[in-house]
Structure 1
């Protein structure tokens, strides 16, 4: 496995993570206005999971190292999107 494979696996994981969590965010935003929330939730889950599983299958290409690097990229995307969408209000707990 060379440097180019590592970079592609990491970027692929970031792209898949961004797709997955952005789609999840859009689904959650649409839930209050839809007439069929269960259909929207299950359909979105199946669509997101199908695309992400196919993407990881293509990234892995038979090497477990690529799976690990892709997973790290996926989690990096998750962390960055959580920080981006986090509300600005800080909750302060006084004891």
Structure 2
């Protein structure tokens, strides 16, 4: 395989890793907004996404395609960043009605409930 084809393949690997990472991040945020325990979603997703991404970069750096591991890592990182730009552009164009929007966090009491509870708890001396 020619050197330019190898670098194109490495760039594609970076795009795949970046797509996995940033699509996974977006999906996790959407799920955690609807979850009763968002910390579990966020932590588990972070560990999974980081493990896959670091392992992918490790494979790119140690694979015996050519003698320039830093160039391979740089090209892979370029693909990773390009995937971030593509994913953020695509997600910003998604119809807001399709995504989950939460006006108030699950564990937060609304302002009217706080006002009602504070009026009932005040005692006259």
TM-score interval, normalised by the smaller of the two chains? 0.7 to 0.9
Per the alignment, residue 54 of structure 1 pairs with 55
Q: How far did residue 87 of structure 1 move?
A: 4.7
Q: Residue 79 in 1 paired to residue 79 in 2?
A: no
Matches within 5 A, 1:15-94: 15-61=16-62, 63-87=69-93
Shift of 1:3: 1.4
Using CA pairs under 8 Å that are at least 6 residues apart, name the structure with larger relative contact order, 1 or 2. Answer: 1
TM-score, scaled to structure 1: 0.86
Q: Hey, which bits of structure 1, 4+ residues long, moved more than 2 A?
A: none
Query: Separation in 1 of the partners of 2:8 and 2:24?
Result: 24
Aligned residues between the structures: 89
Question: Which structure has the bigger radius of gyration?
Answer: 2
**Cα distance, 1:35 vs. partner?**
2.1
Greater Cα offset, 23-32 or 60-69: 60-69
TM-score, normalised relative to structure 2: 0.66
Give the CA RMSD over aligned residues: 1.9
